[in-house]
Chains A and B, each alone.
Chain A
Amino acid sequence: MDMKVKGSKELLTEVIDTGLCTLCGACAGSCPYLVSYKGRIVLLDNCTLSEGQCYQYCPRTCTDMDAISRQVLGMPYSSDELGVTKEVLMARSTDANIKGRAQYGGTVTTILSLALEEGLVDGAILTRMSDDKTPSAFLARSRKEILQGAGSNYMACPVLEVLNHIPKDSTERMGVVAMPCQVLALSKMRNEPPQDRMNIGNVKLVVGLFCTWALSLNGFHQFLHENLDLPRVIKFDIPPPPANRFDAYTSSGKISFPLDEIRKFIMPACTYCLDMTSEFADISVGSVEGIEGWNTVIVRTDVGADLMKMAKKKGKLEVNILPPENLAHLKEASLLKKKRALKEIITKSGDRKNLLYVGLQESIIDNLLA
């Protein structure tokens, strides 16, 4: 894999125009030329620089998984289905307010509120549903604002653009709730801290989300607009298989769409993603299949572990062992995503030696292709 850092021109030709861009937002706002707009990354002017931070921190350019893993987690890149894990649990909030707003168990909202309360962070970068029901990323500085971030959005949102807009002399400590691709970009930044920007060391907590795929804002919003009375929509949900549905909850009830109808709006970039569980986060959170109202929680770092312990001790979270069948199922799903993605990458590049943006050890590649 070519480890050379290139510029915005190559970002366009290698990532954005080839269908690899996940709209993570790592490039947007890193300079005045790159912005996100209605589900796309737009280059407003022609930059002639041959090297740029836009290319450097993009999770779809030269990413050495092993180097990042060692820097962020202190361990080599794991061949385990779920990546590096200290513990895998299930948890849910004890707060009725949070539970009322939560998609599943409300764990993310609880953890962030606790981190804010305890002074571990001064703010958190989250997404919330805006008036037109598309996700919009924002910086929350109070418990009330964090609560606005509760609930799943299913559409790709350039969250890291908010991080890029934080002034470079800021001393505020940040938490970030991010998708696997965004966590990867953050990890690249932690690996080689960006110059002349907010100190990446201020990011004290990364909460990663489980993700199979994300929907493209572009086409999907039009679909929602045509098929729903958007002002009346309260939340969206994709129940676990075998439901095969996309549900929209409105003030007058639930409207379902066959999931197959929605699949065409999946971001093409998701096909090439190897990470279902945000393997470089402090804590990774998802649903528990078949058990409503709970979260699967993967603890990966000391920061994550300490926070989970505190949450349990202070009675903010109810924590249990994850049932073995659920764990097995989770591992299976995660492994399937890795295998599929690797195959797609090799099909796209046409060469087993060319994995496009990702660097993996041979042994790992062999395992996944076996």
Chain B
Amino acid sequence: MAGIGIDAPGTTQLFIGNEAIARGALEAGIGFAAAYPGTPSTEIMESLASVAKKMNFYAEWSVNEKVALESAAGASFAGIRAIAAMKQNGVNVASDFLANIVMSGIGAGLVLVCCDDPSAISSSNEQDTRNIAKWLDIPLLEPGTFQEAKDMTKWAFDLAEELDTICVIRSVTRIAHARGNVKLGELPKKEHKAHFDNICPIAPTLTKFIPYPSAWLHQQLHVKLDKAREVFESSPFNWYVGPEEAELLIITCGSCWLYSLEAVKTLNLESKVGILKLGTIWPLPQKLIEKHLSKSPKILVVEEIDPFLEGNIKEMIADLPPASPHPTFYGKRSGHINAYGELNPNMVIGATARIMDITYESRPAEYSKKAAEIPFTYMPMRIMTFCPGCPHRATFWAIKNALRLDGRDGFVTGDIGCYSMAIGPAGFFQERTMYCMGAGAGVANGLGKLAQFGFNQPVLAVCGDSTFFHATIPALINGVYNHSNFTLVILDNSATAMTGFQPHPGTGITAMGETTRVVDIEDLCHSLGVQVDVCDPFDLENTTATLLKAIAENGGPRVVIMRRECELVRARREKKPLYKVHVDPDKCLGEACGCNRLCTSAFSCPGLIWDKDAGKAKIDEVICASCGICADICPQGAIIKEAV
């Protein structure tokens, strides 16, 4: 992580959006940060945690996002500025607390950063979390540049205190993970002093920090938002570029600001098309918008995921005097911009060109033709697969074999993590349901109660070790309490791997690098009275046998823990491989083996490739992690592993 704590105000750094947000929080003088790893938000906490000790504030990986927001709120109540960061699903998990805290108000500035993942590139679902602002009455800001990500975050704490309510910053992947110029500001040098004030300004015996009485507080919340709207009308985060009167006005926000700017420039329409870029998204700065609406007959709204601005601007227009201008709207509702999936500059260029009725060619037609003629066989698709040496590959191979041997059409329910790739060829298509954190065990609970309707298929729920702490424990307890018949497979690779190997309660290390007590998964399961087996997935025979035994049983849930460290974590630490692996070309029979290339087609590890010229399997030494599992797969014993 580039040093977000650099004490060099006025200099320009190349920060990713997440680092810029973290820097903004530092410049606002936070004392507390809490988060749960989630792409594309993870680097916010990672960079904060990396400087927390040096800069005398506290940062933690919480067990889940609800606890993260609640603990940040705790700090806020005691007068410490606090930030909580999460991806869109995290906001869902934290939403109950969020819906409550908007009622009560806060202590010191409290800011929630939500990073959406359009197209769900690294998520289970796609959703536009800005809707939460309208749903729960929360002021929401959306940065359009990397500089703004920092400046907005810094300001958000002041705003939160001015309004006495939590504020949300919404980012997306293309801001969060992209890098750009950020000019640094001053780092405050102040001492944090924490104290929970037991005196309520309204009635001394009543506390402030309750959402009660709700209806009255709800009305107060509306007053707060009216005040926010006032502030937003003159905010420097909203601006207009373009002619005084424009043929087309693009209203945009967030990552789409730079796309729109580039679209207008590429099409040479600077004199005809104006862009109103909003940074204060909710409540809408109505007067500002109204002023610009009157200057253009055509409006194109460009934003990521939902027609949030689009729909709300149209709603706003309904309240305007009847004589007000009624421009033609283009956007998601008209089909000019996709109402799903991630946007990119090409779409905005295309929509603008279409509306302005001009043709645009990004490159000469003959080049495009030549490019289109390249056979698709020259560019095979790379499927997402487990890393070479990943214990999940071995686990799902054992699961596949166990389920087939069992023969009752068993299947796996799962959720989100590296192991989600088991829905595809990487995990031999074993995972048959995949939803949010903890959903695997949740869904299994239901299935495990269907015996009375003739259900007898073995159900295996899988979850990761971090996921176990985040959301699976209640589902396991439910299974014990309601006597549901399923097997929970906990993939314990000692990391929150998918998001970048962050520590969690089972690893014994905190976000700030301190050792702490390990919460032992086995002990926890034992305390529930469930049968627990621990396997090393690299021991395929024993793992398969243990799984077979577990799924053959009946009664409440049982747990099988697959314990082996994530290969990337191990390799980084130990710097040498487990084995030396190679294929003996004399033993490998190639196509003649009759095994239908079991090693390369069925097992699909990227380190084991098919050498077309030799007609045999081969280890790709650059990719292979030397875990040695494939040696057990070859029927000819042609894959040799030697201990190093």
Contacts and interface: CB of A to CB of B under 8 A. Distances in A.
B404 interface: yes
Contacts of B596: 31, 33, 47-49
A261 interface: no
Contacts of A35: 405
A173 B156 CA distance: 85
A31 B405 contact: no
B595 A31 contact: yes
Interface in B421-435: 428
Contact of A32 (B405, B428, B589, B635): B635
- On chain B, which size bracket covers the interface? 10 to 19
B594 A49 contact: yes
B635 A31 contact: yes
Contacts of A135: none
A173 to B, nearest CB: 23
A44 B400 contact: yes
Interface residues of A, number: 19
A33 B595 contact: yes
A44 B593 contact: no
Contacts, number: 41
B584 to A, nearest CB: 15
Interface in B578-609: 589, 592-596, 598, 601-602
Contact of B401 (A44, A47, A52): A44
Nearest to B401: A44
A306 B602 CA distance: 49
Interface string B493-504: 000000000000
A38 B635 CA distance: 22
Given A31-B635, A32-B635, A40-B407, A196 B401 contact: no
A42 interface: yes
A45 B598 contact: yes
A354 interface: no
Identify whether the interface residues of A are mostly helix, strand, loop, or mixed.
loop
Given A32-B595, A33-B598, A44 B404 contact: yes
Nearest to A52: B594
A37 B402 CA distance: 10
B404 A32 contact: no
A346 interface: no
Contacts of B8: none
A53 interface: yes
Interface string B385-413: 00000000000000011001101000000
A224 interface: no
Interface string A189-216: 0000001100000000000000000000
Nearest to A36: B405
B594 A196 contact: yes
Nearest to B407: A40
Interface in A45-71: 45-49, 52-53
A31 B594 contact: yes
Nearest to A41: B407
B454 to A, nearest CB: 19
A32 B405 CA distance: 13
A155 to B, nearest CB: 18
Interface in A1-55: 31-33, 35, 37-38, 40, 42-49, 52-53
B602 A196 contact: no
A32 B598 contact: yes
B451 interface: no
Contact of A196 (B400, B407, B589): B589
B633 interface: yes
A112 B405 CA distance: 34
Contacts of A45: 400, 428, 598, 602
Given A32-B598, A33-B598, A49-B596, A42 B635 contact: no
A166 to B, nearest CB: 13
A38, A44, A52, A196 interface centre (most CB from chain B within 10 Å):
A44
Contacts of B601: 48
A43 B594 contact: no
A42 B404 contact: yes
B587 to A, nearest CB: 11
A216 to B, nearest CB: 13
Nearest to A7: B596
Contacts of A52: 594
Contacts of A47: 596
Nearest to B601: A48
A47 B597 CA distance: 9
30 contacts: A31-B594, A31-B595, A31-B635, A32-B595, A32-B633, A32-B635, A33-B595, A33-B596, A33-B598, A35-B405, A37-B405, A37-B407, A40-B407, A42-B404, A42-B405, A43-B404, A44-B400, A44-B404, A45-B428, A45-B598, A45-B602, A46-B602, A48-B596, A49-B596, A52-B594, A53-B594, A195-B592, A196-B589, A196-B592, A196-B594
Interface of B: 400-401, 404-405, 407, 428, 589, 592-596, 598, 601-602, 633, 635
Given A32-B635, A43-B404, A44-B400, 12 more contacts: A31-B595, A32-B598, A37-B407, A44-B401, A44-B404, A45-B428, A45-B598, A48-B601, A49-B594, A52-B594, A53-B594, A196-B594
